[in-house]
Amino acid sequence: MHRGKCGDNSLDSWVIRFRLRHGRTSVRGYGNLVEGYRRFRANQSSLKRGQWQQLAEGQSPRAVIIACCDSRADPATIFDADPGDIFVVRNVANLVPPFEPNGGRDGVSAAIEYGVTQLNVPEIVVMGHEKCGGISAVLTGRFRDARAGEGGFVDRWMSQIDDSAQAIAQKHGTSPKAHRLLEEAAIRQSMANLRTFPFVVEHEQKRSLVVLGCHFSIREGELWVLEEAEGKFRPV
């Protein structure tokens, strides 16, 4: 956006008028996010500012992380990652739909395509977590046949793992064990769906890409990784 002299309509003029009218600390609608931003700015060393300038020239993340939207399972925090380290895709229950070349506006597929074919990431990690609300919804049928705006969007999205949910519920009900089993099943299914993308398969066959799965325990703060050869999750 041009910030030169554009009369009263320039961005600089708007900012000046806003601050005169409202004061610096009265930005509304962001909760305490603005205060967090100010701490972020205040703590920026000259080294950090140099890193931001380098990142402005481009990115070369070491992995695509497909994670849940849940505020308690932040990949950057769990993996102690810096800006530019990981390319993060977040959605309800960290699901990956199967490859559908004419599937419409699919943000997950677009992000995977960009990460693999444009950024050439060496890893894709599907990270599930404990106490996932989306997993609970499909396991219990909480939003079954709900209208849009009343859980219907969640119901349609989570229908991707309906079969697994029903099989687990028949055997284990809606117990904590059932939730954990379905969380793990969703990770496995998302990994399998990743391998329906031709470009993912191509890069795996060239050994330039690895598809991985893991599960984060919120209560214990512990990460479990999937050993595909054994079919088991083991703590790191």
> Over the chain, what is the mean pLDDT?
90
State what percent of residues in the chain have pLDDT above 90: 76
The structural domains of the chain, ordered by start, are: 59-235 (3.40.1050.10)
- Distances, alpha carbon 26 to alpha carbons 9, 19, 20, 23, 54, in Å: 22, 9, 11, 6, 32
Q: What is the pLDDT of residues 56-100, one digit of tens each?
A: 999 999 999 999 999 999 999 999 999 999 999 999 999 999 999
Other CB atoms within 10 Å distance of the CB of residue 205: 9
Other CB atoms within 10 Å distance of the CB of residue 189: 19
Q: What is the pLDDT of residues 170-194, one digit of tens each?
A: 999 999 999 999 999 999 999 999 9
Q: What is the pLDDT of residues 128-174, one digit of tens each?
A: 999 999 999 999 999 999 999 999 999 999 999 999 999 999 999 99
pTM: 0.85
Quickly list DSSP for 176-222.
HHHHHHHHHHHHHHHHHHHTTSHHHHHHHHTTS-EEEEEEEETTTTE
CA gap 96, 191 in Å, rounded: 8
Instruction: Return the sign of the alpha-carbon dihedral for residues 60, 63, 64, 66.
Output: negative
State residue 157's pLDDT score: 97
State residue 31's pLDDT score: 80
192: which 2 tokens? Answer: 């399998």
Amino acid at 132: C
Going by pLDDT thresholds of 50, 70 and 90, the confidence category of residue 121 is very high
CA gap 74, 9 in Å, rounded: 39
